[in-house]
Amino acid sequence: MKKFTCKELRKAWVDFFVSKDHLHLPSSSLLPAEDPTLLFTSAGMVPFKEYFNGTKKPPHPRIATIQKCLRTTDLESVGKTARHCTFFEMLGNFSFGDYFKKEAIEWAYEFSIKVLEIDPEKIHVSVYHEDQEAYEIWNKHIGIPEHKIVRLGKEQNWWGPAGDSGPCGPCTELYFDRGEHICHTETGCGNPATCKPGNDCDRFFEYWNLVFNEYFQDTEGNLHPLPQKGIDTGAGLERIVALLNGTDSVYETDELLSLKEEIQKQIETILKRKLDFSFQTQSALRVLTDHVRSVTFAMSDGIFPENTGRGYVIRRIIRRALLFAYQLGITEAILYKIQPKVVEIYASFYPELEEHRKKVQDVLYEEEQRFLETLNKGMKKWEEFLEEHKKEQKQVFDGEKAFILYDTFGFPVEITRELAEKEGLSLDIETFNQKMEEQKQLSKQTQQWKDFQFPHNFPLINEQTEFTGYFKYREKSKILAIIYNNQSITKLDKKDIAIIITDRTNFYPEGGGQIGDTGIIKKRQSLFRVIDTKKKGNLILHIGHVEKGKFQVGDEVDLIIDEEKRKFTTYHHSATHLLHKALRDVLGDSVFQTGSLVSDEYLRFDFSYNKRLTEQQLEEVERRVIDAILAKADVKIKHLPLEEAKKTGALAFFGEKYGEIVRIIEMGENGKYSMEFCGGCHVQNTNEIRYFHIIKESSPGAGNRRIEAVANQKALQYFYEKIQKLKKEWEDKNQKMPNQLSWNLPETMEEITEYMSSNPYSSIQLEKRIIQFEIQLQEIEKKLKKELKKEKSLEHLLEKNLQFENLNSVKLYSFIEENLTPEELRILGDKIKEKEPYALILAASVQKEKASLMFTCTKKLIELGIDCSELLSQSVKAFSGKGGGKKDLAQGGVEKNYVNEVISFAKKLAREKILK
């Protein structure tokens, strides 16, 4: 056998199949382009499902690839065995209605013995037990003796579909006989019942699977013959390299080994000691090797850690890796330090790794930090829980506790299960799931249609709805199918939710971030209200309910979309493209889209960037978008094959497939303002967008920022609503504390429109003015609060001091307080006077050494001849105090020791005056 490095094998593979007239295509993304039911690209055939189904034409009938694959079903076995990996490269050759079993088998054999130089004696094969044809080819045509061919059942020799539906068929597998000494069966080697390919006895090592795709399996599990037969073969790159080099473990193949060594080096540097050779340590190294490679590849394809779906699996892998590192004594971020090594090893074959290197490293670091913040606490909690369980001698770990670990400490439940199993406990997954379910119920509404499946035997599954609605608000069409209550029906008159499918439609189905259209489907007097539009496969679903009359399959109908809603959605979609470009121009090319929502109300754009944007950057971005709008740039739509499209430099979102015709939206000459792949609805000239304004900047998760913005009329609406709210607040404050701040903002829709048209960047200015006004209002609010506090305490003082002395009709109030300012004394006096028309108040407040004095009285008392000023000056005279003022109010001061005397004296004088 020849020895191969991974690199050499990749080349040998491609050369061989190109010599057999195969088109070599680069690997597709790990994100399956159009298959939401599939988490990741898990096999070489995944990107070609539609070629097999016959719904799309391949660029060539024979294709060969080396496809990046991610399989996470065996995640928990990774580390424990020498062979399990989550990420692997699959060597594959494919035929779409071209060659079939004979050539597929011939070439697999030829490649094995001529290129890999495997000893033919060592090759064994398995065939599907009913596949006589394959058996004969192996036996008669190739010459594999009968005793080296085993017939296996569906479990082992039937492959597919990948995902919930798709092509599948019988398969045949090639095995390498590693020799009797490897056999682990208890019954001893050579026992034909147990020692054979397909059994767990390690002697026969499977290295290649050839699938004969003949059927389409629907979501119900029914098989339908495919319009054309096909070949899909798959061989794991590292498995073959391991086999040829005689190593037991894929982790000993050249590339993975160098990665593993790097990890070991990094860890030893941190720990300042050498690692041992225990199973636990070696497992942890394998886990780290595999996991860091998987997440680097996945993130470079735009699959970032998140709380749900694909992103959740990536998060789980990262966390699992950190947990194993933790068990080696590593409590700091480490994966981000290893990622550059993954890039170094693989970037020559997978350039996307280099392209997104920085971004992936940043996100990885942040993601690690996040988990590490709780990992310590989580492990403590776990140990506490474990202790409790042990004390109570429980065999099963509580689901509720697993939920706490998940919810509070971010432990994926699979990790908790793994930890529990290590301790000999199983996990009560039902309770955990129940807890999760309760949590999920909350967000269920929005998820409602995500999991929609076509009913059993749905007739149109392979058909296509023609979308005609980029610039059409009305369309005529024919009803092809109606789905009600998860059944395909022909007549619909019920008023509950139903789905209508027509042969063409102008209703845009939710996709590329853009929301689905709403509107009506009409037939004379009958009316179906469409509340949402979605795409499933190649069909467009109008989701809604009958409002009037009835509908049936075959009806000619009018399709009328909500024009207004579509228009605003379109403005927002085009504005999103301008925003994307502006962000890249301002922040750099490492910025790329990670998600978006385009609705009629606003747009939301998520992108890779790990710092909060400064005010200047946000303004600059907004200004650039506005410039693009003012430039009145034409928007051109082009359709190009993906390869050509990429050359134009258009921004591509993840998931497009090679060979496909893609739609490019070009704004401005040579994409001056934007050039992007997109299937959505756009304006014909940027000027239609009219206004653009960023309303919020935030972060939806590690390494990502989110911008929310509004366009056209919605920008005016945004300001209008904001200013109206502000006006109310201002009115309220102004009433409580008049003349502090005068209203100075445009207020009515007309005023706002006028202001917005006054100069190109008025949205930025108006926002600034609003913020300024808000700050001023906050100042007033602070003052008001202070006042309120004061008033509250004055109220209290008032109650306390309302005792008075009755002198005929006059009420004489006198009190001495502590720590009131002269101003507060005066307010207190005013409050009493508000309540009492015949009041004379003689008040003092003691502070440190001095006491302030305040005498005040109502008008009535002045009429009676009272003069506060005189009263005060007479009272303080004998005590070397000071003071004066007017008849109704006098203020002064005296040394604190004399305050009682002064007030008593003043009271005496007042009594005399009043009672005289």
Interacting span for ligand SER (CB under 6 A) from 43-51, 518-526, 555-563, 730-738: 43-51
Q: At what angle do helices 399-409 and 357-391 cross, to 10 degrees?
A: 150
Asked if residues 409 and 375 have their Cβ atoms less than 8 Å apart, the reply is yes
- Name the minimum Å distance from CB 236 to ligand SER: 9
Helix (H, G, I), strand (E, B) or coil at 519: strand
Candidates 229-237, 481-489, 534-542, 797-805: pick the segment binding ligand SER (CB under 6 A). Answer: 229-237
The window from 41-49, 331-339, 572-580, 885-893 that contacts ligand SER (CB under 6 A) reads 41-49
Instruction: Report d(CA 401, CA 130) in Å as an integer.
Output: 49
Q: Are 83 and 239 in contact (CB under 8 A)?
A: yes
Nearer to ligand SER, 44 or 701 (CB): 44
The count of C-alpha atoms lying within 13 angstroms of the C-alpha of 243, restricted to the half-sphere facing its C-beta, is 28
Backbone φ and ψ of 881, nearest 5° = -90, 180
Nearest CB to ligand SER, comparing residues 161 and 305: 161
Binding mask 161-200 for ligand SER (x = CB under 6 A): ----------------------------------------
**Which residue number, 64 or 702, has a Cβ lying nearer to ligand SER?**
64
CB burial readout 546-564, b (16+ within 10 A) else e: beeeebebebebebbbbee
Query: Nearest residue by C-beta to ligand SER?
Result: 234
Report the half-sphere exposure of 809 (CA within 13 A, side-chain side). 7
Give the end-to-end CA distance of the chain in Å, rounded to a whole number: 131
- Using rule CB under 6 A, residue 546 touches ligand SER: no
The smaller minimum CB distance to ligand SER, of residues 41 and 875, is found at 41
* Binding of residue 50 to ligand SER (CB under 6 A): no
C-alpha to C-alpha distance for 188 and 205, rounded to whole angstroms: 17
Residues in the chain: 916
SS3 state at 409: helix
Cis peptide before 227, with omega less than 30 degrees from 0?
Answer: no
Which of 44, 399, 509, 701 binds ligand SER (CB under 6 A)? It is 44
Window of 42-50, 237-245, 415-423, 650-658 that interacts with ligand SER by CB under 6 A:
42-50
Tell me which stretch binds ligand SER (CB under 6 A): 11-19, 232-240, 592-600, 840-848: 232-240
Minimal distance, residue 25 CB to ligand SER, in Å? 15
Which residue type is seen at 798?
A: L
CB 295 within 8 A of CB 314: yes
Of 44 and 659, which CB lies nearer to ligand SER in the complex structure?
A: 44
Of 209 and 506, which has the nearer Cβ to ligand SER?
A: 209
**Contacts from 908-912 at CB under 8 Å and sequence distance 24+?**
909/871, 909/874, 909/875, 910/807, 910/812, 910/840, 910/842, 910/866, 910/871, 911/807, 911/812
Closest distance of CB 157 from ligand SER, Å: 11
Q: Which of residues 481-510 bind ligand SER (CB under 6 A)?
A: none
* Token couple for 305: 């850690």
Provide the pairing of β-strand 635-641 with 166-177. Answer: unpaired
Minimum distance, C-beta of residue 187 to ligand SER, in the bound complex (Å) = 29
Judged by CB under 6 A, does residue 92 bind ligand SER? yes
Q: How far is the CB of 170 from ligand SER (least distance, A)?
A: 12
Give whichever of 44 and 378 is closer to ligand SER, judged by the CB atom. 44
Q: For residues 90 and 853, which CB has a smaller minimum distance to ligand SER in the complex? A: 90
137-166 positions binding ligand SER, by CB under 6 A = 159
Residue with Cβ nearer ligand SER (47 or 79): 47
Quickly count helices (H) and strands (E) in the chain: 25, 35
- 3-state SS, 328-367, equals CCCCCCCHHHHHHHHHHHHCCCCCHHHHCHHHHHHHHHHH
Q: Of residues 93, 209, 339, 686, which one binds ligand SER by CB under 6 A? A: 209
CA distance 718 to 734: 24
Contact between 43 and ligand SER by CB under 6 A: the answer reads yes
Q: Which is nearer to ligand SER, 163 or 822 (CB)?
A: 163
Instruction: Decide: helix, strand or coil at residue 520.
Output: strand
CA–CA–CA angle 172, 178, 179 (5° rounding) = 120
Q: What's the CA gap between 365 and 372, in Å, rounded?
A: 10
Please report how close the Cβ of residue 173 comes to ligand SER at its closest, in angstroms: 9
Are the C-beta atoms of 416 and 406 separated by less than 8 Å? yes
Rounded to a whole number of angstroms, the minimum distance from the CB of residue 94 to ligand SER is 8
Question: Between 61 and 92, whose beta carbon lies closer to ligand SER?
Answer: 92
Query: Which range binds ligand SER by CB under 6 A, 40-48, 112-120, 877-885, 902-910?
Result: 40-48
Contact partners, residue 507, CB within 8 Å, separation at least 6: 469, 516, 517, 519, 530, 533, 540, 542, 559, 561
| Beta strand spans in 549-601 (E) | 551-552, 556-561, 593-598
Q: How far is the CB of 48 from ligand SER (least distance, A)?
A: 10
Cβ closest to ligand SER, residue 164 vs residue 870: 164
Give 759: exposed, middle or buried? Use CB within 10 Å, 0-12, 13-18, 19+.
exposed
Shortest distance (Å) from residue 163 CB to ligand SER: 12
Say how many residues touch ligand SER, by CB under 6 A: 10
Q: Which of 209/416 has CB closer to ligand SER?
A: 209
CB 128, min distance to ligand SER, A:
13
Q: Looking at 233, 477, 594, 873, which residue binds ligand SER (CB under 6 A)?
A: 233
Q: Which is nearer to ligand SER, 90 or 379 (CB)?
A: 90
Q: Which stretch binds ligand SER (CB under 6 A): 108-116, 227-235, 549-557, 663-671?
A: 227-235
Query: Distance (Å, rounded) from C-alpha 541 to C-alpha 498?
Result: 10
Stretch that binds ligand SER, among 226-234, 578-586, 748-756, 806-814 (CB under 6 A): 226-234
Cβ proximity to ligand SER, 79 vs 92, nearer residue: 92
Q: Does 211 bind ligand SER (CB under 6 A)?
A: yes
Residues 6+ apart with CB under 8 A from 792: none
Q: Does 234 bind ligand SER (CB under 6 A)?
A: yes
Residues between 867 and 896 that touch ligand SER (CB under 6 A)? none
Please tell me whether residue 668 binds ligand SER under the rule CB under 6 A.
no
Minimum distance between the CB of residue 250 and ligand SER, rounded to whole angstroms?
16
Binding site for ligand SER (CB under 6 A): 43-45, 92, 159, 209, 211, 232-234
